[in-house]
Amino acid sequence: MSEQFPLPSQTSSSNYAIIVAGGSGTRMNAALPKQFLLLSGRPVLMYTLEVFSRSDAKPELILVLPQSYHIYWKDLCRAHNFNLPHHLVNGGDTRFQSVKNGLELLPDEALVAVHDAVRPTIDAATIDMSYQVAADKGSAVVAVMSRDSIRRVTENGSEALIRDEIYLVQTPQTFQATLLKDAYNVPYRNNFTDDASVVEQAGHSINVIPGNYQNIKITYPEDIAIAELLLKQKATL
């Protein structure tokens, strides 16, 4: 089910990060899944793994990737001299199943951050805050307030929602491991759009912590250039 690549981790951290790279690239008009697209010449996924390894939390890294891409990923690691230790786990048919596969590697006493592979511009300070808050309160879900007015559109028309109450949820979403494992011990449901929704359905409340707008999710081809720009801005801070 899992293997360690490129070499077994030597850490005994109780912090883990599950990096979910489930996408098969259907929305990018590209044969290549988004996590492999090049950001200033290097695959998106490498930036994402690196920022977690740079954080003070120094989590043990669990990369969940469709099995059909494991060899390709190893080739990429060799080609780019990417030597960051990480576990490699098979992805599932859904994001839910992918995370569930990653959870199997976790001891109960751990903290675990679940993060989208296609959010390479996350900053280490936010990652660290998420572990700190999750240690204290059980969960820490990174989110930003909406800049735009918000409208709920249904078959019966649309209605304005109260903007100040609406948060756009990002990742990382960080939890005490037992909490998250228990919550995932259910069948898949359609409204499981993120880990917070799974934990909430299990009856737990969710702590939201402030993220920032630079933590973008690479969803469309145009986003690659924006991510490159954001990484350059960070590098010059």
Query: Residue 2 or 207: which CB sits closer to its own copies?
Result: 207
Please answer whether residues 51 and 126 qualify as being in contact, where contact means their C-beta atoms are separated by less than 8 angstroms.
no
Rounded to the nearest angstrom, the gap between the alpha carbon of residue 115 and the centroid of all alpha carbons in its chain is 1
The answer to whether residue 236 forms part of the interface with its own copies (CB under 8 A) is: no
Cα dihedral 197, 215, 212, 17 in deg (nearest 10): 60
Residues 79-108 interacting with its own copies (rule: CB under 8 A): none
Exactly one of 191, 203, 235, 236 binds its own copies (CB under 8 A); that residue is 191
Terminal CA-CA length for the chain: 41
111 binds its own copies (CB under 8 A): no
The reply on whether position 163 binds its own copies by CB under 8 A is yes
Contact pick of 10, 205, 235, 236 for its own copies (by CB under 8 A): 205
Q: How far is the CB of 213 from its own copies (least distance, A)?
A: 7
CB of 177 to its own copies, least distance (A): 21
- Contact region with its own copies (CB under 8 A), list: 15-23, 49-57, 106-114, 206-214: 206-214
Provide the sign of the torsion angle of the four alpha carbons 72, 78, 79, 85, taken in this order.
Answer: positive
Q: Is 169 a residue that touches its own copies (CB under 8 A)?
A: yes
Angle at 79 between CA 73 and CA 80, to 5 degrees: 90
d(CA 144, CA 81): 35
Q: Which is nearer to its own copies, 1 or 160 (CB)?
A: 160
**90: closest CA among 71, 117, 67, 116?**
67
Strands 2-5 and 86-90: antiparallel
Contact residues for its own copies, defined by CB under 8 A: 141, 143, 146-154, 157-163, 165-170, 191, 193-194, 196-197, 200, 205-206, 208, 213-214, 217, 219-220, 222, 225-226, 229-230, 233
